[in-house]
């Protein structure tokens, strides 16, 4: 996962990390763990879909953030 691209995208939309985590439906601390790729902390498919929708990401951008 490319945390820098994801951070750039949610900041570009005017979100702060804690606010964005709440919009995605997870706690800010859990979002931080997932963003920083702590062991056992990965985004689920529903979370990725929520992020994709909130940020209006293209499929290519979603791939680049989460699968590269």
Q: Give the model confidence (pLDDT) of 5-15 as tens digits.
A: 999 999 999 99
Task: Give the pLDDT band (50/70/90) at residue 68.
Answer: confident
Encoding tokens for residue 48?
């990725």
Encoding tokens for residue 64?
């680049």
pTM of the model: 0.92
Q: Given this model, what pLDDT does residue 56 score?
A: 97
As a three-state string, the secondary structure of the chain is CCHHHHHHHHHHCCCCHHHHHHHHCCCHHHHHHHHCCCCCCCCCHHHHHHHHHHHCCCHHHHHHHHCC
Domains of the chain and any CATH numbers:
3-66 (1.10.260.40)
pLDDT for 4-58, tens place per residue? Answer: 999 999 999 999 999 999 999 999 999 999 999 999 999 999 999 999 999 999 9
């Amino acid at each position: 996962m490319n945390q820098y691209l994801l951070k750039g995208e949610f900041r570009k939309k005017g979100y702060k990390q804690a606010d964005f985590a709440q919009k995605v439906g997870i706690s800010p601390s859990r979002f931080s763990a997932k963003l920083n790729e702590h062991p056992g902390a990965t985004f689920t498919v529903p979370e990725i879909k929520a992020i994709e929708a909130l940020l209006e990401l293209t499929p290519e951008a979603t791939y680049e953030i989460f699968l590269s």
